[in-house]
Structure 1
């Protein structure tokens, strides 16, 4: 088995090597280009999506409560 400490050292060396290589510049440029493309597509962030999902869940709960209330009122009215 490989020693976890050896793997960490290897990972650190590879990260340092990668940080000093042209690949890092390519990665930065690609991220900037993709960010610009995504901005044009009018996408939402995961955080915004999660907030809207929570709002929708609360709205569904309120709707179900209102539907139950209307059903109860209709039953009470038809029972008179």
Structure 2
């Protein structure tokens, strides 16, 4: 029969081999659930990619330039109409 300290040393060795595997599995499980939770949360948000944002910013800039040009044309036409009435 083994001495109690030998038995506990053997038990500790066996548990020591199992625990890292259990810890790794728990960590991997946690990481997988965390990734899924973050992905789910991001999917519910109204987010766009950087490329889409940049593309829309460029469209907005061109639209502003066109509106400014049209406002200048309208102002010129209003001046012309006012001058013709005088």
What's the TM-score bracket when you normalise by the shorter of the two chains?
0.5 to 0.7
- Gaps spanning 5+ residues in structure 2: where? 1-23
Q: Which residue is equivalent to 1:50? A: 54
Between structures 1 and 2, the one with greater helix share: 2
Tell me the TM-score normalized by structure 2: 0.55
Cα deviations across residues 20-63 of structure 1 (Å, max 9, x unaligned)?
xx5xx43x654443222111112111111111111110110000
Higher Rg: 2
Count of equivalent residues: 57
Q: Which residue is equivalent to 2:79? A: 75
CA RMSD of aligned residues (A): 2.0
- Gaps spanning 5+ residues in structure 1: where? 1-21
Q: 1:66 aligns with which of 67, 70, 73?
A: 70
Say whether residues 1:41 and 2:52 are aligned partners: no
